[in-house]
Amino acid sequence: MNEITIIPLGTISPYPKDDMNCPGYMIQYGNEKILLDCGNGITSMLNFPGDLEKLHIFLTHYHKDHFSDIGALQYASYVYHNLGLLNEKIKIYLPKKDFCYNRKSIVSNNEAYSEYYDIDNNAHHKINNLTVSFEDNQSHTIETYMVKIENKDFKIIYISDVGTTNFDKMVSFCENANLIICESSFLKKHNSQSKTHLTAYDASLLAKFSRADKLLLTHFWPEEDKQLYLEEAKQNFENTALAEEGKKLVLTKRHVRQDDI
């Protein structure tokens, strides 16, 4: 397999608006599908029951804008299995430590055709010839994992909610990535005092210092002009793009092509 396709399903936070959803990214590699986060509204972008086949769902943390649609996917798996249209359980990977009983609620759901796996700093999961690993940067308000998906040809990093507290560790985790999908919740003009989210400027420095090939900005404020994020990031890292719902990236052995679906 010579290519990986990345499809943004949701790009804004903390609530959906118009035709934009909360965070979610579908990665297709051969017959396998990897869904990174499962925010409000992303199921509207999926095709059932096909997208349930060989589906691996990774929840980076237990803030609701990143996992609120998981119940819909669980119930869809249950219904389609009962109809004889889904033979293989969907696989859900989620932080080992609970927060506000969110994990317990997910894994105790009886109306789901799914199985569950732990995420922590030591976890490594194999999907085909891809290895998926994790790191809690310890710079968000709760336990939150950065995700690395890699093999000998590709390295993709997904960063949902982080701050700048442990920036050097973040750079090390992202080193030489082909693609960094990175949250950019704020702009410098917001004068945000938040230490638990990045600006577009911060995200561009991360891509620059980690020597990444391409940066894809995400996790925008719903009311803000997305072009301002792009302009700010390009001050440091020219090969930056904006994530848009349904606008896919195709990664072909260190080459990235962006297309509309």
Q: Which domains does the chain have, with CATH numbers?
A: 4-260 (3.60.15.10)
* Residues contacting 13, CB < 8 A, separation 6+: 22, 23, 39, 65, 66, 185, 219, 220, 221, 222
Confidence of residue 1 (pLDDT cuts 50, 70, 90): confident
Helix (H, G, I), strand (E, B) or coil at 261: coil
Please state whether the predicted TM-score (pTM) of the whole model is above 0.75.
yes
* Residues contacting 64, CB < 8 A, separation 6+: 40, 102
pLDDT tens for residues 20-31?
999 999 999 999
Confidence of residue 193 (pLDDT cuts 50, 70, 90): confident
Question: What's the mean pLDDT in 117-124?
Answer: 97
Question: Residue 213 carries which DSSP code?
Answer: S
Q: What ranges in the chain are assigned the alpha helix state H? A: 70-82, 102-107, 167-174, 200-209, 226-233
